[in-house]
């Protein structure tokens, strides 16, 4: 049995970050820590550079690799995150869909950063899909995670222009510059109100 986590409204926000890869957004989140929020743990689904960045910063880490049983992996993921008692969970380049056990525990407190202007170009290839569609403007969206794929309520968005000659890598890098600022701004503006988050940007 788990009990609901009820932190003090004025306390520094405890953040758990989920990563799967390079972790450049995680690095921005780590560099942006101040009296408003701190990263208490970094959890990944695969060994990755994000985990190395967290270790270099002296942050607790855990890798929860998925086996054949996805539901069982979700339970292990919940336990790994829960052990750090987060106020907020940030999915920052975490490339797995969070299942119902995870949402039952953390929905409303889990936010994701996506490299497109939702509701356009949802899914794992937001940058590639915007480019292939011929979009002239794309960008970054920070949103709550719900049971759909990139369908949760939007918290913040910033546009990024697609330039002539852009390829996926060049466009993604410009989007990430914006994502890094946006996610730090969102975390600094986030407070806990009971079981809910209040985000005043």
* Interacting residues toward ligand GAR by CB under 6 A: 21-26, 92-93, 113-115, 124, 126, 176, 179
CB 176 to ligand GAR: min, Å: 5
112 is in an annotated binding site: yes
Question: CA–CA distance from 18 to each of 23, 61, 77 (Å)?
Answer: 9, 10, 10
Do the beta carbons of residue 118 and residue 154 sit within 8 Å?
yes
Toward ligand GAR, which CB reaches closer, 14 or 20? 20
User: Known binder of ligand: residue 97?
Assistant: yes
- Nearest residue to ligand GAR, using CB? 93
Q: Nearest distance from residue 63's CB to ligand GAR, in Å?
A: 15
Question: By the 8 A CB rule, do 122 and 96 touch?
Answer: no
Looking at the DSSP assignment, which residues form a beta bridge with residue 140? 158
Residue 179 CB, shortest distance to ligand GAR, in Å, is: 5
Of 115 and 191, which CB lies nearer to ligand GAR in the complex structure?
A: 115
> Hey, which bits of the chain come out as E strands?
13-19, 37-44, 60-63, 88-91, 110-114, 137-144, 154-161, 190-193, 196-199
Which is catalytic among the residues 114, 125, 143, 172?
114
Torsion angle of the four alpha carbons 172, 14, 3, 151, in this order, in degrees rounded to the nearest 10: -20
C-beta of 83 vs 181, nearer to ligand GAR: 181
5 is an active site residue: no
Report in angstroms the alpha-carbon separations of 180 from 27, 183, 189. Answer: 9, 6, 14
Residue 96 is labelled as binding a ligand: yes
| CB neighbour list of residue 173: distance below 8 Å, 6 or more residues apart | none
Nearer to ligand GAR, 63 or 83 (CB): 63
By annotation, the residues acting in catalysis are 114
Annotated binding site: 70, 95-98, 112
| Binding-site sequence positions for (6R)-10-formyltetrahydrofolate | 70, 95-98, 112
């Amino acid at each position: 049995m788990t009990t609901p986590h009820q932190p003090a409204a004025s306390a520094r926000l405890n953040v758990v970050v989920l990563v799967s890869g390079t972790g450049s957004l995680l690095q921005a989140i780590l560099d942006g820590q101040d009296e408003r929020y701190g990263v208490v743990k970094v959890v990944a689904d695969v060994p990755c550079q994000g985990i190395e960045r967290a270790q270099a910063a002296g942050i607790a880490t855990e890798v929860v690799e998925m086996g054949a049983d996805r539901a069982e992996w979700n339970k292990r993921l919940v336990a790994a995150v829960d052990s750090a008692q987060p106020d907020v969970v940030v999915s920052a380049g975490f490339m797995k869909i969070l299942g119902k056990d995870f949402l039952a525990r953390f929905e409303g407190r889990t936010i994701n950063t996506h490299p497109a202007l939702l509701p356009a170009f949802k899914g794992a290839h937001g940058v590639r899909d915007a480019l292939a569609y011929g979009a002239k403007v794309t960008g970054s969206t920070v949103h709550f995670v719900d049971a759909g794929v990139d369908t949760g309520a939007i918290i913040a968005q910033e546009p990024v222009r697609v330039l002539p000659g852009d390829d996926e890598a060049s466009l993604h890098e410009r989007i990430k510059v914006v994502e890094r600022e946006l996610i730090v701004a969102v975390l600094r503006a986030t407070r806990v109100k009971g079981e809910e988050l209040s985000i005043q940007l």
